Amino acid sequence: MVTAPLVSIFAAVSPPGSEWAMLGACLALAVATGVFIFYIRPDASDLAPHRSRLDQLLERRDTLYDNLRDLRFEFRSGKYAESDYEGMKTALENEAALILAEIEQVTESQVRRLRGPKHGGAERGAQ
């Protein structure tokens, strides 16, 4: 068998009593694994449903607004030159405009889905 030579090599290399230390380490690892599997409960946030696309967009919008506010504060405190400030501000505003347009698309599609298809005035009169 292949394992016998490996065990004899390990026994020759390891100092006496190290088998007990290895056995103790394996036993501690097994106990820690059992505790983790059977006694540690998941956090409530782990059980929460995944965030919707709208939630993600709203969070990104809020982050961009915070970044713009921080950028304005740092510019006023003299941390950035005016040209750097204008470039970063323009980039953040463009990204915010894209996010707002996407939020509008998502909310519009949700409203259409709730209301159903549009009906024309002629169809209402015929009904």
The residues spanned by each domain of the chain are: 3-39, 50-117
pTM given for the model: 0.51
Q: How far does the chain reach from its first CA to its final CA, in angstroms?
A: 87
Please compute the mean of the pLDDT values over residues 105-115 and round it to a whole number.
Answer: 79
Q: Residue 33: CA atoms inside 13 Å, Cβ hemisphere, count? A: 6
Question: What distance in Å separates the CA atoms of residue 61 and residue 100, rounded to the nearest whole number?
Answer: 7
Confidence bin at 6 (pLDDT 50/70/90): low
Q: What is the mean pLDDT of residues 89-95?
A: 97
Percent with pLDDT over 90 in the chain: 45
Q: Is the pLDDT of residue 85 over 90?
A: yes
